[in-house]
A = this chain, B = another copy of it.
């Protein structure tokens, strides 16, 4: 049900519907849309601060420009809620029954006003340059505007700089709106922000200007939350015939005091009480992150030169606690994943013990640094990777490619613990060795307890948790519980006493165990919480390829899934215990 049938927004079906509105009406729209952002985010979670800060510039864009003929590309696109409300998707914000119809990012499937699915930072300038180049090549008559909107936080990612560098070569229309709210997800990091501050402090007049340095035109707007100012500014630069940077100062969280006060907390939130700001679902109890931080404390107490490195996402690992205790050992490089790995490599080679904290989906941006810097130099970096799990997430942030990304590279040991004690045992070993890079895949399922079965992981010995026959189940990391369930189901349904194995690693093969399995097993089943292509299961399938063993690999297919509930994905991918046992049964019957 539409919660606000009285809202002026109800009259807006197309951007053209706001073009005849008065300034007061446009301001009313901004107020309404802020309320809708808050209501929706409070109910289902989402980006708060980024959306509250860009109301005025979004309204002004659609008031002055002619979308989709004129094109706006939102960096990360987590700030595109207002854009969505003005481009035919208001019901996804007015009516809770339709909240889930609309994704949190731009989506060409939703609207002709969106051009790309985007969820990672720093891509918008390159995308805008590409659209401008295609326009110039194909439609010499058409003079549409192309605008990228990029936050100051996203500017620290190297790709943004590459984009700026090439934007300067254009001899045609391009608008790069730098939405400067003086924040990244967390605090901004690095020298770039000194320069931006000087520009703000001088009302854009400082002669030292990185954008002008690169040959780009430049204009500063001191109050990007003033609607009239933004309208006037856009009118002035509309149809400009060369690239310009519009440096716009805005307030992240504008209009909702808690979001202004606690900018990091309100960057992205799970559902919360709108009045008090409290989390609706409180997370309590033990966490893998806590256990990791406790172990790092111990290692530091033992005088190990441990440092913690992350790239703009301390919250994902609760690193605020580490920073408070060990400020001189804490490094947040900002949104700059490449730099986080290469710097860690150097620290490791110089004798420090860097522990890098990464999200699988963002680590993708440092693939060459994994190969050319970390693996090639065999640098004993320790890394914790989160998010490698089949789960309900935006396709933009799908973290299931990590096993292929990491385990197919030389020299790196990629460990997949099944419980917290095992994980800490692996972490302790990783910190105390200097032979190789070690990556640890942090489980995303509810915390399990267990007992590590080795303490030195330089040679992986698979743990045979239960010795049976006929079928051997290799359950990787997070999928340990699933392995236990499949074992039980095999017992109950087929009366098979299956072997259950914890392989611990997705790189090192224990060929001794694999060899001896052949003695009394016909089928080996692998279960991994990630994409099958390039994954652990294929390694086992290749090993047994020339031999008599049947191998069945379970995991995700090579595809994207956008906001599909985890349980549905499991059904689709044949990952329920029942489906798995049915598949095993088929193979057994074919023997």
Contact = CB atoms under 8 A, between A and B. Distances in A.
Contacts of A462: none
Interface in A96-128: 108, 115-120, 123, 126-128
A131 B375 CA distance: 18
Number of copies: 2
B209 A191 contact: no
Given A191-B215, A349-B115, A339 B126 contact: yes
Nearest to A216: B191
Interface in A120-176: 120, 123, 126-131, 133-135, 137-138, 156-169
A18 interface: no
A563 interface: no
Contacts of A553: 542, 545
A587 B350 CA distance: 48
Given A164-B191, A558-B408, A350 B307 contact: no
A328 interface: yes
A375 to B, nearest CB: 8
Interface in A534-584: 534-535, 537-539, 541-542, 544-548, 550-553, 558-560, 583
A8 interface: no
A134 to B, nearest CB: 4
The listed residue with most B CB atoms (<10 A of its CB), out of A137, A307, A538, is A538
A377 B546 contact: no
Contact of A130 (B116, B347, B551): B347
A411 B166 CA distance: 28
Interface in A201-221: 207-210, 212-216
A409 interface: yes
B208 A194 contact: no
A224 to B, nearest CB: 21
Contact of A120 (B168, B191, B372): B372
Nearest to A538: B538
Nearest to A543: B541
A331 interface: yes
Interface string A368-407: 1101110111000000000000000001100001001101
A190 interface: yes
A410 interface: yes
Contacts of A185: none
Interface string A406-449: 01111100000000000000000000000000000000000000
Interface residues of A, number: 120
A299 to B, nearest CB: 14
Contacts of A183: none
Contact of A134 (B116, B160, B346, B371): B346
Given A137-B352, A372-B119, A376-B396, A162 B168 contact: no
B215 A195 contact: yes
Given A156-B165, A165-B189, A129 B346 contact: yes
A490 interface: no
B138 A372 contact: no
Interface in A295-340: 305, 307, 328-329, 331, 333-334, 336, 338-339
Contacts of A453: none
Contacts of A344: 130
A372 B396 contact: yes
Interface string A342-363: 1111110111101000000110
A364 interface: yes
Contacts of A214: 190-192, 194-195, 210
Contact of A407 (B361, B367, B533): B533
A365 B207 CA distance: 34
Given A138-B351, A138-B352, A545-B552, A162 B157 contact: yes
A435 to B, nearest CB: 14
A531 interface: yes
A116 B369 CA distance: 13
Nearest to A362: B368
The listed residue with most B CB atoms (<10 A of its CB), out of A162, A328, A369, A539, is A162
Contact of A533 (B108, B115, B342, B539): B539
A471 interface: no
Given A169-B191, A191-B167, A134 B347 contact: yes
A333 B409 CA distance: 28
A130 B545 contact: no
B546 A550 contact: yes
A396 B120 CA distance: 28
The listed residue with most B CB atoms (<10 A of its CB), out of A364, A407, A409, is A409
19 contacts: A126-B346, A133-B331, A133-B343, A157-B158, A158-B159, A161-B161, A162-B339, A165-B192, A166-B189, A190-B214, A191-B215, A195-B215, A213-B213, A361-B372, A367-B368, A408-B533, A545-B545, A546-B583, A546-B586
Given A166-B333, A192-B213, 14 more contacts: A120-B372, A130-B350, A133-B346, A137-B307, A157-B158, A164-B191, A168-B192, A169-B190, A208-B208, A362-B368, A364-B367, A375-B560, A545-B552, A546-B551
* 7 nearest A-B residue pairs (beta carbon): A158-B158, A168-B191, A130-B346, A534-B534, A191-B214, A367-B367, A165-B190
